[in-house]
Structure 1
Amino acid sequence: MASLRPLRSLFASATSALSAAQPAQRALVRTSARAFSTTAPSRSPEYGTEAAEQPRWQQTPPRMMAPFRVRPKPRGPEFKVNDDPRRLDDAYARLLGPGGDKVLSEEVKWLAVTHKSFDHGRRGFNDRLAYLGRRIVMLQTSQALLNAPQAEAWPRDSKGTPVADEFGRIPFLHPALSGLRGLTGEASDQVLDKSRLAGLAERYGFDKVTRWKPKRTDNLQGSGLESVLTTTLYAVVGAIALERGGEIANKITQDKILAPLGFTFTAD
Protein backbone atom coordinates (compact mmCIF):
# COMPACT_ATOMS: atom_id res chain seq x y z
CA MET A 1 0.00 0.00 0.00
CA ALA A 2 1.38 3.40 -0.96
CA SER A 3 2.14 5.93 1.73
CA LEU A 4 0.02 9.10 2.03
CA ARG A 5 2.86 11.24 3.37
CA PRO A 6 3.98 12.62 -0.01
CA LEU A 7 0.41 13.73 -0.85
CA ARG A 8 -0.02 15.41 2.51
CA SER A 9 3.21 17.30 2.13
CA LEU A 10 2.18 18.41 -1.35
CA PHE A 11 -1.19 19.78 -0.16
CA ALA A 12 0.47 21.53 2.75
CA SER A 13 2.97 23.31 0.52
CA ALA A 14 0.26 24.38 -1.95
CA THR A 15 -1.93 25.77 0.85
CA SER A 16 0.93 27.73 2.33
CA ALA A 17 1.80 29.15 -1.08
CA LEU A 18 -1.79 30.34 -1.67
CA SER A 19 -2.06 31.89 1.78
CA ALA A 20 1.21 33.71 1.24
CA ALA A 21 0.14 35.11 -2.15
CA GLN A 22 -3.32 36.26 -0.99
CA PRO A 23 -2.29 39.39 0.99
CA ALA A 24 -0.14 40.54 -1.91
CA GLN A 25 -3.15 40.38 -4.26
CA ARG A 26 -5.29 42.48 -1.92
CA ALA A 27 -2.52 45.02 -1.62
CA LEU A 28 -2.31 45.25 -5.40
CA VAL A 29 -6.05 45.90 -5.72
CA ARG A 30 -5.96 48.59 -3.04
CA THR A 31 -3.01 50.28 -4.71
CA SER A 32 -4.77 50.30 -8.12
CA ALA A 33 -8.01 51.70 -6.69
CA ARG A 34 -6.14 54.36 -4.78
CA ALA A 35 -4.26 55.36 -7.95
CA PHE A 36 -7.46 55.75 -9.99
CA SER A 37 -9.27 57.72 -7.30
CA THR A 38 -6.49 60.21 -6.63
CA THR A 39 -5.37 60.94 -10.19
CA ALA A 40 -6.40 64.47 -11.22
CA PRO A 41 -7.73 64.98 -14.79
CA SER A 42 -5.13 66.53 -17.03
CA ARG A 43 -5.72 68.92 -19.91
CA SER A 44 -3.56 68.82 -22.96
CA PRO A 45 -1.73 72.11 -23.54
CA GLU A 46 -2.99 72.35 -27.11
CA TYR A 47 -6.57 72.92 -25.90
CA GLY A 48 -6.07 76.14 -24.04
CA THR A 49 -8.58 78.58 -22.67
CA GLU A 50 -7.84 81.13 -25.39
CA ALA A 51 -9.62 79.05 -28.04
CA ALA A 52 -12.53 78.31 -25.70
CA GLU A 53 -13.17 82.03 -25.20
CA GLN A 54 -13.82 82.62 -28.92
CA PRO A 55 -17.41 82.13 -30.18
CA ARG A 56 -18.26 78.99 -32.12
CA TRP A 57 -18.94 80.84 -35.38
CA GLN A 58 -15.47 82.40 -35.34
CA GLN A 59 -13.33 79.29 -34.92
CA THR A 60 -13.14 75.63 -35.73
CA PRO A 61 -13.26 73.50 -32.56
CA PRO A 62 -9.63 72.45 -31.91
CA ARG A 63 -10.52 68.82 -31.29
CA MET A 64 -12.17 68.58 -34.70
CA MET A 65 -9.08 69.68 -36.65
CA ALA A 66 -6.84 67.10 -38.29
CA PRO A 67 -3.08 67.45 -37.72
CA PHE A 68 -2.48 67.68 -41.47
CA ARG A 69 -4.45 68.23 -44.68
CA VAL A 70 -5.62 65.03 -46.39
CA ARG A 71 -6.87 66.39 -49.70
CA PRO A 72 -4.96 68.76 -51.95
CA LYS A 73 -6.13 72.34 -52.19
CA PRO A 74 -8.63 72.95 -55.01
CA ARG A 75 -7.47 74.73 -58.09
CA GLY A 76 -8.59 78.19 -58.99
CA PRO A 77 -8.88 81.41 -57.00
CA GLU A 78 -9.62 81.20 -53.30
CA PHE A 79 -13.24 81.85 -52.31
CA LYS A 80 -13.38 84.56 -49.67
CA VAL A 81 -15.99 83.96 -46.95
CA ASN A 82 -17.35 86.92 -45.02
CA ASP A 83 -16.16 87.30 -41.44
CA ASP A 84 -17.23 90.92 -40.89
CA PRO A 85 -20.13 91.22 -38.39
CA ARG A 86 -21.08 94.65 -39.74
CA ARG A 87 -21.70 93.31 -43.22
CA LEU A 88 -23.87 90.56 -41.75
CA ASP A 89 -25.83 93.09 -39.70
CA ASP A 90 -26.46 95.15 -42.85
CA ALA A 91 -28.01 92.12 -44.57
CA TYR A 92 -30.31 91.45 -41.62
CA ALA A 93 -31.28 95.12 -41.50
CA ARG A 94 -32.26 95.01 -45.17
CA LEU A 95 -34.41 91.94 -44.64
CA LEU A 96 -35.97 92.73 -41.26
CA GLY A 97 -35.94 96.52 -41.34
CA PRO A 98 -34.38 98.98 -38.87
CA GLY A 99 -33.05 97.13 -35.86
CA GLY A 100 -33.10 93.83 -37.73
CA ASP A 101 -29.57 93.09 -36.63
CA LYS A 102 -30.85 92.83 -33.04
CA VAL A 103 -33.67 90.37 -33.73
CA LEU A 104 -31.48 87.27 -33.42
CA SER A 105 -28.67 86.45 -31.05
CA GLU A 106 -25.11 86.69 -32.33
CA GLU A 107 -24.55 82.94 -32.52
CA VAL A 108 -27.83 82.25 -34.34
CA LYS A 109 -27.23 85.05 -36.84
CA TRP A 110 -24.07 83.33 -38.03
CA LEU A 111 -25.57 79.86 -37.84
CA ALA A 112 -28.47 80.83 -40.11
CA VAL A 113 -26.10 81.90 -42.91
CA THR A 114 -23.70 78.94 -42.59
CA HIS A 115 -24.10 76.18 -45.15
CA LYS A 116 -23.00 72.63 -44.39
CA SER A 117 -20.28 72.86 -47.04
CA PHE A 118 -18.43 75.53 -45.04
CA ASP A 119 -15.57 74.17 -42.92
CA HIS A 120 -16.98 70.64 -43.30
CA GLY A 121 -19.86 71.59 -41.00
CA ARG A 122 -17.57 71.81 -37.97
CA ARG A 123 -18.91 75.21 -36.92
CA GLY A 124 -22.54 74.17 -37.24
CA PHE A 125 -24.82 74.62 -40.24
CA ASN A 126 -28.35 75.77 -41.02
CA ASP A 127 -30.10 72.62 -42.30
CA ARG A 128 -32.48 72.24 -39.36
CA LEU A 129 -33.31 75.92 -39.25
CA ALA A 130 -34.01 75.82 -42.98
CA TYR A 131 -36.32 72.82 -42.58
CA LEU A 132 -38.47 74.70 -40.07
CA GLY A 133 -38.40 77.89 -42.10
CA ARG A 134 -39.43 76.06 -45.26
CA ARG A 135 -42.50 74.62 -43.48
CA ILE A 136 -43.49 78.12 -42.36
CA VAL A 137 -43.01 79.68 -45.79
CA MET A 138 -44.93 76.89 -47.52
CA LEU A 139 -47.85 77.25 -45.09
CA GLN A 140 -48.05 81.00 -45.65
CA THR A 141 -47.79 80.45 -49.39
CA SER A 142 -50.70 77.98 -49.34
CA GLN A 143 -52.84 80.43 -47.38
CA ALA A 144 -51.94 83.24 -49.77
CA LEU A 145 -52.87 81.10 -52.78
CA LEU A 146 -56.12 80.10 -51.11
CA ASN A 147 -57.10 83.73 -50.59
CA ALA A 148 -55.81 84.98 -53.93
CA PRO A 149 -58.40 85.87 -56.59
CA GLN A 150 -58.85 83.09 -59.10
CA ALA A 151 -59.90 83.20 -62.72
CA GLU A 152 -63.42 81.96 -63.34
CA ALA A 153 -63.36 78.43 -64.66
CA TRP A 154 -67.11 78.24 -65.34
CA PRO A 155 -69.03 80.61 -67.64
CA ARG A 156 -71.70 82.85 -66.15
CA ASP A 157 -74.45 84.98 -67.60
CA SER A 158 -74.87 88.73 -67.21
CA LYS A 159 -76.44 88.27 -63.78
CA GLY A 160 -73.56 86.16 -62.52
CA THR A 161 -75.49 82.90 -62.59
CA PRO A 162 -73.56 79.84 -63.78
CA VAL A 163 -74.57 78.72 -67.25
CA ALA A 164 -75.52 75.08 -67.70
CA ASP A 165 -73.38 73.00 -69.98
CA GLU A 166 -74.57 70.94 -72.94
CA PHE A 167 -75.87 68.25 -70.59
CA GLY A 168 -77.80 70.70 -68.41
CA ARG A 169 -75.38 70.47 -65.48
CA ILE A 170 -74.60 73.39 -63.20
CA PRO A 171 -71.72 72.95 -60.75
CA PHE A 172 -71.90 73.87 -57.11
CA LEU A 173 -70.05 77.15 -56.68
CA HIS A 174 -69.24 78.88 -53.42
CA PRO A 175 -66.88 81.76 -52.57
CA ALA A 176 -65.12 79.62 -49.96
CA LEU A 177 -64.21 77.10 -52.66
CA SER A 178 -62.95 79.54 -55.25
CA GLY A 179 -59.33 79.38 -54.09
CA LEU A 180 -58.98 75.61 -54.09
CA ARG A 181 -57.52 75.64 -57.57
CA GLY A 182 -54.50 77.45 -56.19
CA LEU A 183 -53.69 74.64 -53.75
CA THR A 184 -51.81 72.57 -56.26
CA GLY A 185 -48.20 71.50 -56.19
CA GLU A 186 -47.51 73.29 -59.45
CA ALA A 187 -48.80 76.62 -58.09
CA SER A 188 -46.73 76.40 -54.91
CA ASP A 189 -43.61 75.34 -56.78
CA GLN A 190 -44.02 78.22 -59.18
CA VAL A 191 -44.25 80.75 -56.36
CA LEU A 192 -41.37 79.29 -54.36
CA ASP A 193 -39.16 78.72 -57.35
CA LYS A 194 -35.51 78.41 -56.41
CA SER A 195 -34.42 81.12 -58.82
CA ARG A 196 -36.99 83.60 -57.49
CA LEU A 197 -36.05 83.03 -53.85
CA ALA A 198 -32.34 83.19 -54.65
CA GLY A 199 -32.84 86.51 -56.42
CA LEU A 200 -34.75 87.77 -53.39
CA ALA A 201 -31.88 86.73 -51.11
CA GLU A 202 -29.43 88.57 -53.35
CA ARG A 203 -31.60 91.66 -53.16
CA TYR A 204 -31.24 91.61 -49.38
CA GLY A 205 -27.49 91.07 -49.64
CA PHE A 206 -27.25 87.52 -48.31
CA ASP A 207 -25.13 86.43 -51.26
CA LYS A 208 -22.29 88.48 -49.74
CA VAL A 209 -22.57 87.04 -46.22
CA THR A 210 -23.61 83.40 -46.69
CA ARG A 211 -20.76 81.13 -45.65
CA TRP A 212 -20.29 78.17 -47.99
CA LYS A 213 -17.64 76.47 -50.07
CA PRO A 214 -18.37 76.23 -53.79
CA LYS A 215 -17.08 73.31 -55.78
CA ARG A 216 -15.67 75.70 -58.35
CA THR A 217 -14.91 79.27 -57.42
CA ASP A 218 -15.07 80.35 -61.05
CA ASN A 219 -18.61 78.96 -61.49
CA LEU A 220 -20.77 79.78 -58.50
CA GLN A 221 -24.04 79.12 -60.30
CA GLY A 222 -22.90 75.69 -61.34
CA SER A 223 -21.75 75.01 -57.80
CA GLY A 224 -25.28 75.47 -56.42
CA LEU A 225 -25.46 79.14 -55.45
CA GLU A 226 -29.25 79.30 -55.84
CA SER A 227 -29.84 76.33 -53.54
CA VAL A 228 -27.47 77.75 -50.94
CA LEU A 229 -29.18 81.16 -50.92
CA THR A 230 -32.64 79.60 -50.76
CA THR A 231 -31.55 77.52 -47.79
CA THR A 232 -30.22 80.65 -46.08
CA LEU A 233 -33.50 82.49 -46.57
CA TYR A 234 -35.47 79.59 -45.11
CA ALA A 235 -33.00 79.29 -42.22
CA VAL A 236 -33.46 82.94 -41.25
CA VAL A 237 -37.22 82.43 -41.05
CA GLY A 238 -36.74 79.29 -38.96
CA ALA A 239 -34.36 81.09 -36.60
CA ILE A 240 -36.85 83.93 -36.12
CA ALA A 241 -39.59 81.41 -35.34
CA LEU A 242 -37.45 79.75 -32.66
CA GLU A 243 -36.20 82.93 -30.99
CA ARG A 244 -39.10 85.35 -31.58
CA GLY A 245 -42.13 83.14 -32.10
CA GLY A 246 -44.27 81.94 -34.98
CA GLU A 247 -46.36 85.11 -35.24
CA ILE A 248 -43.34 87.27 -36.04
CA ALA A 249 -41.99 84.63 -38.43
CA ASN A 250 -45.32 84.58 -40.28
CA LYS A 251 -45.31 88.37 -40.54
CA ILE A 252 -41.75 88.41 -41.89
CA THR A 253 -42.69 85.75 -44.43
CA GLN A 254 -45.67 87.72 -45.65
CA ASP A 255 -44.02 91.15 -45.80
CA LYS A 256 -40.45 90.30 -46.83
CA ILE A 257 -40.81 87.16 -48.96
CA LEU A 258 -44.32 86.75 -50.37
CA ALA A 259 -45.16 90.43 -50.85
CA PRO A 260 -42.12 91.04 -53.12
CA LEU A 261 -43.22 87.95 -55.08
CA GLY A 262 -46.57 89.57 -55.92
CA PHE A 263 -48.96 88.75 -53.06
CA THR A 264 -50.96 91.31 -51.11
CA PHE A 265 -52.10 90.90 -47.51
CA THR A 266 -54.80 92.73 -45.56
CA ALA A 267 -54.32 94.13 -42.10
CA ASP A 268 -56.50 91.47 -40.48
Structure 2
Amino acid sequence: MKAPVRTRPQRQKPFTVNSDPTNLDAMYTRFLGRTGPKMLSDETKWLAVTHKSFDHGRRGFNDRLSFLGRQILELQTSLAVLTAADVTNQVNNNVDPFGRLAFHHPATANVGVLNGGAKEFYMHHKQMSGVASRYGLPEVVRWQPKDVDNLPASGSDMVYTQALFAIIGALSLEQGNQVANRIVRERILQPIGLRSDMVGTTPAQPQLNAS
Protein backbone atom coordinates (compact mmCIF):
# COMPACT_ATOMS: atom_id res chain seq x y z
CA MET A 1 0.00 0.00 0.00
CA LYS A 2 1.10 3.55 -0.73
CA ALA A 3 -0.04 6.72 0.97
CA PRO A 4 -1.52 9.40 -1.32
CA VAL A 5 0.96 11.99 0.00
CA ARG A 6 4.47 11.80 1.46
CA THR A 7 4.71 12.07 5.24
CA ARG A 8 8.44 12.83 5.08
CA PRO A 9 10.26 15.30 2.82
CA GLN A 10 12.13 14.08 -0.26
CA ARG A 11 15.75 13.74 0.83
CA GLN A 12 17.32 13.58 -2.59
CA LYS A 13 16.49 14.48 -6.14
CA PRO A 14 14.42 11.89 -8.03
CA PHE A 15 16.12 9.25 -10.15
CA THR A 16 14.61 8.78 -13.60
CA VAL A 17 14.47 5.27 -15.06
CA ASN A 18 13.53 4.09 -18.52
CA SER A 19 9.84 3.60 -19.26
CA ASP A 20 10.06 3.40 -23.04
CA PRO A 21 9.65 -0.15 -24.42
CA THR A 22 11.53 0.91 -27.55
CA ASN A 23 14.68 1.53 -25.52
CA LEU A 24 14.19 -1.78 -23.74
CA ASP A 25 13.85 -3.66 -27.03
CA ALA A 26 16.96 -1.93 -28.36
CA MET A 27 18.96 -3.29 -25.42
CA TYR A 28 17.63 -6.82 -25.97
CA THR A 29 18.57 -6.52 -29.65
CA ARG A 30 22.14 -5.56 -28.75
CA PHE A 31 22.39 -8.34 -26.18
CA LEU A 32 20.51 -11.24 -27.76
CA GLY A 33 20.63 -10.40 -31.45
CA ARG A 34 18.12 -9.30 -34.05
CA THR A 35 15.30 -11.46 -32.65
CA GLY A 36 16.13 -10.60 -29.03
CA PRO A 37 12.97 -8.60 -28.24
CA LYS A 38 10.83 -11.55 -29.33
CA MET A 39 12.63 -14.14 -27.20
CA LEU A 40 10.92 -13.06 -23.98
CA SER A 41 7.37 -12.01 -23.16
CA ASP A 42 6.77 -8.31 -22.52
CA GLU A 43 6.19 -8.85 -18.81
CA THR A 44 9.37 -10.89 -18.43
CA LYS A 45 11.44 -8.36 -20.34
CA TRP A 46 10.54 -5.69 -17.81
CA LEU A 47 10.81 -7.99 -14.81
CA ALA A 48 14.35 -9.07 -15.71
CA VAL A 49 15.62 -5.48 -15.56
CA THR A 50 13.72 -4.48 -12.40
CA HIS A 51 15.64 -4.36 -9.12
CA LYS A 52 13.85 -4.77 -5.81
CA SER A 53 14.71 -1.17 -4.89
CA PHE A 54 12.45 0.14 -7.67
CA ASP A 55 9.05 1.26 -6.40
CA HIS A 56 9.70 -0.74 -3.21
CA GLY A 57 9.28 -3.97 -5.13
CA ARG A 58 5.58 -3.42 -5.75
CA ARG A 59 5.89 -4.27 -9.45
CA GLY A 60 7.93 -7.39 -8.98
CA PHE A 61 11.72 -7.75 -9.10
CA ASN A 62 14.36 -9.99 -10.63
CA ASP A 63 15.91 -11.77 -7.62
CA ARG A 64 14.72 -15.27 -8.52
CA LEU A 65 15.51 -14.93 -12.21
CA SER A 66 18.95 -13.65 -11.27
CA PHE A 67 19.61 -16.62 -8.98
CA LEU A 68 18.77 -19.05 -11.79
CA GLY A 69 20.84 -17.16 -14.33
CA ARG A 70 23.85 -17.10 -12.02
CA GLN A 71 23.80 -20.89 -11.69
CA ILE A 72 23.77 -21.24 -15.48
CA LEU A 73 26.63 -18.79 -15.89
CA GLU A 74 28.68 -20.46 -13.16
CA LEU A 75 28.31 -23.83 -14.89
CA GLN A 76 29.31 -22.51 -18.30
CA THR A 77 32.24 -20.58 -16.82
CA SER A 78 33.45 -23.70 -15.01
CA LEU A 79 33.30 -25.71 -18.24
CA ALA A 80 35.19 -22.99 -20.09
CA VAL A 81 37.93 -22.80 -17.48
CA LEU A 82 38.23 -26.59 -17.29
CA THR A 83 38.78 -26.87 -21.04
CA ALA A 84 41.42 -24.13 -21.20
CA ALA A 85 44.70 -25.29 -22.72
CA ASP A 86 47.13 -23.71 -20.27
CA VAL A 87 45.14 -24.45 -17.12
CA THR A 88 47.18 -27.56 -16.32
CA ASN A 89 50.37 -25.52 -16.07
CA GLN A 90 48.70 -23.15 -13.64
CA VAL A 91 47.46 -26.00 -11.47
CA ASN A 92 50.57 -28.17 -11.45
CA ASN A 93 53.21 -25.46 -11.00
CA ASN A 94 54.07 -26.56 -7.45
CA VAL A 95 56.96 -29.03 -7.25
CA ASP A 96 56.87 -31.51 -4.39
CA PRO A 97 60.06 -31.11 -2.29
CA PHE A 98 60.33 -34.90 -1.94
CA GLY A 99 59.93 -35.59 -5.64
CA ARG A 100 56.59 -37.31 -5.23
CA LEU A 101 54.16 -37.38 -8.14
CA ALA A 102 50.46 -36.96 -7.57
CA PHE A 103 47.96 -39.23 -9.30
CA HIS A 104 47.22 -37.90 -12.77
CA HIS A 105 44.37 -38.67 -15.12
CA PRO A 106 43.37 -36.68 -18.23
CA ALA A 107 39.73 -36.55 -17.15
CA THR A 108 40.61 -34.78 -13.88
CA ALA A 109 43.79 -32.96 -14.88
CA ASN A 110 42.29 -29.47 -14.76
CA VAL A 111 39.78 -29.81 -11.93
CA GLY A 112 42.10 -28.12 -9.46
CA VAL A 113 41.84 -24.83 -11.32
CA LEU A 114 38.30 -24.37 -10.02
CA ASN A 115 39.85 -23.65 -6.62
CA GLY A 116 42.46 -21.30 -8.05
CA GLY A 117 40.28 -18.23 -8.44
CA ALA A 118 39.98 -18.34 -12.24
CA LYS A 119 36.21 -18.78 -12.21
CA GLU A 120 35.80 -16.08 -9.58
CA PHE A 121 37.92 -13.71 -11.67
CA TYR A 122 35.72 -14.12 -14.73
CA MET A 123 32.48 -13.97 -12.73
CA HIS A 124 33.43 -10.96 -10.62
CA HIS A 125 30.73 -8.31 -10.58
CA LYS A 126 33.13 -5.78 -12.14
CA GLN A 127 33.55 -8.07 -15.14
CA MET A 128 29.83 -8.74 -15.41
CA SER A 129 28.96 -5.08 -15.00
CA GLY A 130 31.33 -4.28 -17.87
CA VAL A 131 29.50 -6.78 -20.07
CA ALA A 132 26.15 -5.32 -19.01
CA SER A 133 27.34 -1.82 -19.94
CA ARG A 134 28.52 -3.13 -23.30
CA TYR A 135 24.91 -3.97 -24.17
CA GLY A 136 23.33 -0.88 -22.63
CA LEU A 137 21.72 -2.41 -19.53
CA PRO A 138 22.49 0.62 -17.32
CA GLU A 139 20.18 2.72 -19.51
CA VAL A 140 17.17 0.44 -19.00
CA VAL A 141 17.60 -1.13 -15.55
CA ARG A 142 14.90 0.05 -13.16
CA TRP A 143 16.21 0.72 -9.64
CA GLN A 144 16.48 3.39 -6.98
CA PRO A 145 20.06 4.21 -5.92
CA LYS A 146 20.78 5.43 -2.42
CA ASP A 147 22.77 8.34 -3.80
CA VAL A 148 21.75 9.44 -7.29
CA ASP A 149 24.95 11.49 -7.58
CA ASN A 150 27.19 8.50 -6.89
CA LEU A 151 25.86 5.37 -8.57
CA PRO A 152 28.99 3.20 -8.02
CA ALA A 153 28.79 3.84 -4.28
CA SER A 154 25.11 2.89 -4.43
CA GLY A 155 26.00 -0.55 -5.81
CA SER A 156 25.36 0.00 -9.50
CA ASP A 157 27.79 -2.77 -10.52
CA MET A 158 25.87 -5.33 -8.50
CA VAL A 159 22.52 -4.08 -9.82
CA TYR A 160 23.64 -4.32 -13.46
CA THR A 161 25.18 -7.73 -12.86
CA GLN A 162 21.96 -8.98 -11.29
CA ALA A 163 19.97 -7.79 -14.30
CA LEU A 164 22.39 -9.58 -16.63
CA PHE A 165 21.95 -12.82 -14.69
CA ALA A 166 18.16 -12.34 -14.64
CA ILE A 167 17.97 -12.14 -18.43
CA ILE A 168 19.84 -15.44 -18.68
CA GLY A 169 17.49 -17.00 -16.15
CA ALA A 170 14.47 -15.72 -18.05
CA LEU A 171 15.82 -17.14 -21.30
CA SER A 172 16.26 -20.53 -19.66
CA LEU A 173 12.64 -20.55 -18.52
CA GLU A 174 11.05 -19.27 -21.73
CA GLN A 175 13.45 -20.52 -24.42
CA GLY A 176 15.16 -23.50 -22.80
CA ASN A 177 18.62 -24.25 -21.47
CA GLN A 178 20.17 -24.72 -24.89
CA VAL A 179 19.41 -21.14 -25.90
CA ALA A 180 20.46 -19.75 -22.51
CA ASN A 181 23.76 -21.64 -22.63
CA ARG A 182 24.49 -20.39 -26.14
CA ILE A 183 23.84 -16.78 -25.17
CA VAL A 184 26.13 -17.15 -22.15
CA ARG A 185 28.93 -18.54 -24.29
CA GLU A 186 28.61 -16.11 -27.18
CA ARG A 187 27.48 -12.89 -25.48
CA ILE A 188 29.10 -13.04 -22.04
CA LEU A 189 32.06 -15.41 -21.90
CA GLN A 190 33.55 -14.51 -25.25
CA PRO A 191 33.68 -10.73 -24.58
CA ILE A 192 35.56 -11.31 -21.29
CA GLY A 193 38.18 -13.55 -22.89
CA LEU A 194 36.72 -17.07 -22.72
CA ARG A 195 36.22 -17.98 -26.35
CA SER A 196 32.89 -19.60 -27.17
CA ASP A 197 34.49 -22.28 -29.36
CA MET A 198 36.37 -23.73 -26.42
CA VAL A 199 33.29 -24.23 -24.27
CA GLY A 200 31.85 -27.70 -24.44
CA THR A 201 34.95 -29.27 -25.98
CA THR A 202 36.86 -32.19 -24.52
CA PRO A 203 40.06 -31.59 -22.54
CA ALA A 204 42.05 -32.72 -25.58
CA GLN A 205 40.83 -29.77 -27.67
CA PRO A 206 40.97 -26.71 -25.42
CA GLN A 207 42.14 -23.18 -26.18
CA LEU A 208 42.27 -20.10 -23.98
CA ASN A 209 42.35 -16.57 -25.25
CA ALA A 210 45.17 -14.97 -23.31
CA SER A 211 43.68 -11.49 -23.56
TM-score when scaled to structure 2? 0.86
> Is it true that 1:194 corresponds to 2:125 in the alignment?
yes
Give the Cα–Cα distance (whole angstroms) in 1 for the partners of residues 139 and 97 of structure 2. 60
Give the Cα–Cα distance (whole angstroms) in 2 for the partners of residues 97 and 259 of structure 1. 15
Residues 130-141 of structure 1 mapped to structure 2, 5 A cutoff? 130-141=66-77
Tell me, what secondary structure is at the counterpart of 2:191?
coil
1:154 is displaced (CA, Å) by: 5.0
Distance verdict in 2 for CA 1:83–1:165, change over 3 Å: closer
Distance verdict in 2 for CA 1:177–1:216, change over 3 Å: same
> Is it true that 1:93 corresponds to 2:29 in the alignment?
yes
Equivalent residue for 1:218, pick from 149, 174, 188? 149
Match of 1:257 in 2: 188
Tell me, what secondary structure is at the counterpart of 2:144?
coil
Check the 8 A contact 2:189/2:196 in 1, yes or no. no
Amino acid at match of 1:67: P
RMSD: 2.0
Give the Cα–Cα distance (whole angstroms) in 1 for the partners of residues 60 and 116 of structure 2. 32
Check the 8 A contact 2:25/2:37 in 1, yes or no. yes
Match of 2:81 in 1: 145
Distance verdict in 2 for CA 1:154–1:190, change over 3 Å: closer
Residues 1-268 of structure 1 mapped to structure 2, 5 A cutoff? 64-76=1-13, 78-149=14-85, 150-152=87-89, 167-184=98-115, 186-266=117-197
1:180 is displaced (CA, Å) by: 1.1
1:70 is displaced (CA, Å) by: 3.1
Amino acid at match of 2:33: G
Unpaired runs of 5+ in structure 2? 202-211
Amino acid at match of 2:45: K
Check the 8 A contact 2:88/2:110 in 1, yes or no. no
Amino acid at match of 2:22: R
Distance verdict in 2 for CA 1:172–1:87, change over 3 Å: same
1:189 is displaced (CA, Å) by: 1.4
1:104 is displaced (CA, Å) by: 0.3
Q: Point out the structure with max Rg over C-alpha.
A: 1
Mean CA deviation greater in 230-239 or 181-190: 181-190
Amino acid at match of 1:71: R
Give the Cα–Cα distance (whole angstroms) in 2 for the partners of residues 166 and 126 of structure 1. 51
Amino acid at match of 2:3: A
CA shift digits 1:79-106 (9 cap, x unpaired):
1110011110010000001111111000
Amino acid at match of 1:70: T
Give the Cα–Cα distance (whole angstroms) in 1 for the partners of residues 8 and 120 of structure 2. 38
Give the Cα–Cα distance (whole angstroms) in 2 for the partners of residues 136 and 236 of structure 1. 11
1:170 is displaced (CA, Å) by: 3.2
Count of residue correspondences: 196
Amino acid at match of 2:42: E
